């Protein structure tokens, strides 16, 4: 059974899509979508041999040869424009890595596929990249599973709607409107973390005032969004 995290990503893949799942490991996401006849074709991109072989194994085991194809390649090098990929998923990596994969592979985005991204950390880097590339966020989800909090960001190419201010980049333009319990808990924890850093700073002999002010400002900003 697919994790809730990947099921949430799957929800945003349109019926009949040609999907590339980059950093696919076992190819669970494209395999699930192909088994449920949700996609026309799936590509499972992997840069590491072990996970690439996991993907190949899963595809054979599920009888999906010809429906899902594993490709050993770095990032978007796994796809060609002629594949006519209309949806790209990149899940379970850090935000900066996701952003760098997209930036390095920009030429492969010429057909403006939908991007479904699930950064484990560093979500702000992902939103920043989307904004500068002319992608507007059309859906966001935040969920807790196995003691972790995951954010999912769905974006379509729409340069005129892509702008986000600093606050939206940090909290997520849609997540900060909905403020579901997972969102509130995530940012309450962040306040506690910042307060802990502050306590440590106050114990230091030389108090770095600028740093202290910055932390207080961050706490105030989070409280402002939560209230
Ligand atoms: N996407 C799956 C998920 O969300 O459950 C697997 C996530 S796993 C933690 C991250 C995978 O991304 C690893 O298998 C790793 O080898 C792969 N990866 C990391 N950098 C990559 C890159 N530049 N191109 C393709 N795959 C990459």
pLDDT value of residue 201: 87
CA-to-CA separations, 154 to 89, 91, 119, 209, in angstroms, rounded: 9, 11, 11, 39
pLDDT value of residue 1: 86
Report the nearest atom of ligand 1 relative to the CA of 6. Answer: 4
DSSP assigned state of 138 = E
pLDDT in tens, 38-75: 999 999 999 999 999 999 999 999 999 999 999 999 99
Report the nearest atom of ligand 1 relative to the CA of 24. Answer: 1
Residue 108, number of CB atoms within 10 A of its CB: 20
61 falls within a domain: yes
DSSP assigned state of 25 = T
Q: Which residues line ligand 1 (CB under 6 A)?
A: 6, 22-25, 45-48, 51, 74-75, 91-93, 101
21 and 78 housed in the same domain: yes
**Residues sharing a CB contact under 8 Å with residue 220, sequence separation 6 or more, in sequence order:** none
Angle, helix 181-203 to helix 209-226, in steps of 10 degrees? 160
* Domain carrying residue 73: 4-164
pLDDT value of residue 206: 77
172 falls within a domain: no
Q: What are the residue ranges in the chain where pLDDT is below 70?
A: none
pLDDT value of residue 130: 98
pTM to 2 decimals? 0.96
């Amino acid at each position: 059974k697919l994790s809730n995290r990947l099921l949430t990503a799957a929800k945003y893949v349109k019926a009949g899509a040609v999907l590339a799942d980059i950093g696919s490991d076992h190819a669970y996401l494209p395999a699930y979508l192909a088994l449920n006849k949700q996609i026309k074709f799936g590509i499972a991109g992997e840069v590491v041999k072990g996970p690439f072989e996991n993907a190949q194994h899963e595809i054979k085991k599920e009888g999906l040869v010809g429906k899902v194809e594993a490709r050993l390649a770095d990032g978007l090098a796994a796809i060609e424009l002629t594949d006519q990929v209309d949806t790209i998923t990149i899940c379970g990596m850090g935000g900066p890595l996701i952003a760098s994969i997209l930036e390095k592979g920009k030429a492969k985005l010429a057909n403006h596929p939908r991007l479904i991204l699930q950064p484990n950390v560093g979500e702000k880097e992902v939103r920043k990249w989307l904004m500068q590339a002319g992608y507007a966020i059309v859906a966001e989800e935040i969920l807790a599973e196995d003691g972790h909090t995951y954010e999912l960001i769905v974006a379509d190419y729409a340069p005129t709607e892509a702008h986000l201010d600093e606050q939206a980049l940090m909290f997520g333009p849609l997540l900060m409107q909905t403020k579901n319990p997972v969102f509130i808990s995530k940012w309450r924890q962040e306040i506690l973390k910042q307060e802990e850093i502050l306590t440590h700073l106050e114990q230091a002999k030389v108090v770095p005032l600028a740093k202290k002010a910055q932390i207080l400002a961050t706490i105030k900003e989070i409280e402002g969004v939560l209230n």
